[in-house]
Amino acid sequence: MKIDVVLSPPEIDLLPNRDLTGTTAVVFDVLRATSSMITALAHGAEEIYPVCTIEEAFALKVTMPDALLGGERHGDRIEGFDVGNSPLEYLAPRKRIITTTTNGTVALKACEKAREVLVGALLNTGALTDLIRLRQPGELLLVAAGTFRELALEDVFACGMLCAGFPEAELTDSARVALSLYRQYEGNVEGLLQTARNGRTLLAACREDDVAWCGKLDSQGVVGVLKGGAVRKV
């Protein structure tokens, strides 16, 4: 298996033009979009519809009036939405969710042409590793969603953690960068999240509970797969 890593949003912009038909993609937005999705799926959500824009979210809500509107811009709940992007807001069972975030949902949509698109977080790395071993894809693409237009330390760390689970794999240079970052902070997830820009921003906003939750390794044993416009539990 060959593993490649997309490290930042400018690279994500190029994915729709890349041939991903034989590739399994895994998207990480650890703080907090994909962590919130995994939390929701682990607590009863059946369908999560990621969209890129606020306008798309409101339009989809018209066709799905029962759906929960969730998401953020600049880390805060969007005006008119039911909830924001805290994973702790998704502990109550919600059958159907529509979500838009600054980076995470954009990264997911950019991978739609892949053979399979999986939702990753620190919360489900073990379950992801097991599923990928079962699927045995020839090509694995790990996507670090980033922050605005920049690389996000915690997302690259998560990509590196998944790389570490496949020591036999052929790694691209960017995958080796991610693996090196993981080795640097291995065993110190709390320190990694507190060092990362997003972690510091959340802590400054008194959202330390979100940071703590998103760092709970393998606490949610589910994997989400994007298919037909919706993320569902595998």
Q: What is the pLDDT of residues 123-152, one digit of tens each?
A: 999 999 999 999 999 999 999 999 999 999
Tokens of 45: 């959500």
Give the bridge partners for 138, in sequence order. Answer: none
Which residue from 231, 234, 194 is spatially nearest to 214, judged by alpha carbons?
194
- Number of domain units in the chain: 1
Query: What is the per-residue pLDDT for 66?
Result: 96
Asked whether the beta carbons of 144 and 51 are under 8 A apart, the reply is no
Element (H, E) at 4: strand 2-6
Query: What is the per-residue pLDDT for 174?
Result: 98
* Angle between helical axes of 153-164 and 197-204 (0-180°, round to 10): 130
Asked whether the beta carbons of 176 and 167 are under 8 A apart, the reply is no
The CATH number assigned to the domain holding 6 equals 3.90.1560.10
Across the chain, mean pLDDT equals 97
Asked whether the beta carbons of 119 and 36 are under 8 A apart, the reply is no
Averaged pLDDT for residues 70-95: 96
Say whether 122 sits in a helix, a strand or coil. Answer: helix
Residue 5: burial class (beta carbons within 10 Å; 0-12, 13-18, 19+)? buried
| CB environment 79-112: b (16+ within 10 A), e (fewer) | eebbbbbbbbbbeeebeebbbbbbbbbbbbbbbb
The domain containing residue 10 runs over which residues? 2-233
Query: What is the per-residue pLDDT for 10?
Result: 98
Say whether 232 sits in a helix, a strand or coil. Answer: strand
Give the bridge partners for 196, in sequence order. Answer: none
Averaged pLDDT for residues 178-184: 98
Averaged pLDDT for residues 165-170: 98
Asked whether the beta carbons of 137 and 182 are under 8 A apart, the reply is no
Query: What is the per-residue pLDDT for 12?
Result: 98
Q: What is the DSSP string of 179-206?
A: HHHHHHHTT-HHHHHHHSHHHHHHHHTT
Query: What is the per-residue pLDDT for 219?
Result: 97
17's CB contacts (< 8 A; 6+ apart) are: none
DSSP state of 70: E
